[in-house]
Structure 1
Amino acid sequence: MPRLTDARKELRRAQITDAAVRCFGRNGLERTSIADITAESGLSTGSIYTHYSSKADLVRAAAGAVLAKRAEVLGEYAAGDTPPDPDELLARLIANINPVEARVGVQTWGEATTDPVIRGVVVDMIDRMRAMLHDCVTAWLVKVEHHDPAEAREQATPIADRVSALYLAELLHAALRSPTEETAS
């Protein structure tokens, strides 16, 4: 059997991660088995375990994939000539909430209360998200509000914390919506 190239390995990992997110969103973390992910991905169980050592490893990858999407968007906002103000930043983030990913996020938070490995993933993801929001708010304060960069970094902290808290609340709200509410909105 030919060896997978690095690019092909990354494609397989993404295929498995995407399947895991769909399964976690549909069935929950606890009720999703590796067999479910195998069926959803169209790959073999051996292939799943070649790329991920455990379900916790898959949860970590799924959380990382969701955060990577937000990181890309937030990076674009911060790099722009006119970064959005905090209200607009929050509105844009909320507008891009994927209900399936929101359900996976909230389920992951629940698992974090009893599983120290998952707790580490959740704390890391929230800290990274807060840091990206801090960068966006700092960029807005410097580029739009014309604050001194050092002063802007300090002022950005409580603002980014509030934006983060409101965004996490909106994720919870999106996760709790029924599928019929999702299609109506």
Structure 2
Amino acid sequence: MAQKAAKSLAARNTARLKQTHLISLVLHTLFFLVAFTLRRGSLSLKAYAVLATPALLIEFYLDRLARPVYNADGSLLRAGDDLGAAGVTEFLWDVVYWTWITVVAAAIFGNRAWWLYLAVPAYAGYVVFTAATGLKGMLGGIGATADEGQAPSRRQKKMEARGGSAQKIRYQR
């Protein structure tokens, strides 16, 4: 059972990529069917091209990133990156999912639904802001000095109770 984890990752990646491509194909085909039949002329194909292209590029990037590579004999050469990883990969999936929602909303409600896509840069700004403020909070204590009025710890109290103030070391200034 050599490379069992790599083989299971390759199988998961292949299944998820297949599912993603199928859903994307169905949603975009439905949009075009609605655009050319039910809402002929009322849906902007320019807005579709501008706003759906990033998600399609992300989808193909994730495909290249996570598609397993096999040798000629069928053995696994590279499993690909984990599509369930947190961080940037997770954000890329959010963009793809939100684009799908926006495409469906535009097909149903018309061109005004494309404004929903503004949630992507707004969310990115929120993530950057929270990361920056969190980083600022972590670095806030670096330059601070010890508080002189701080209550003594249990160990300090025990030491004082045993020997009084003789246990304390005082440095002359």
Query: TM-score normalised to the size of structure 2?
Result: 0.28
Higher relative contact order (Cα pairs below 8 Å, separated by 6+ residues): 1
Query: TM-score normalised to the size of structure 1?
Result: 0.27
* Greater Cα radius of gyration, structure 1 or 2: 2
Structure (1 or 2) with the greater helix fraction: 1
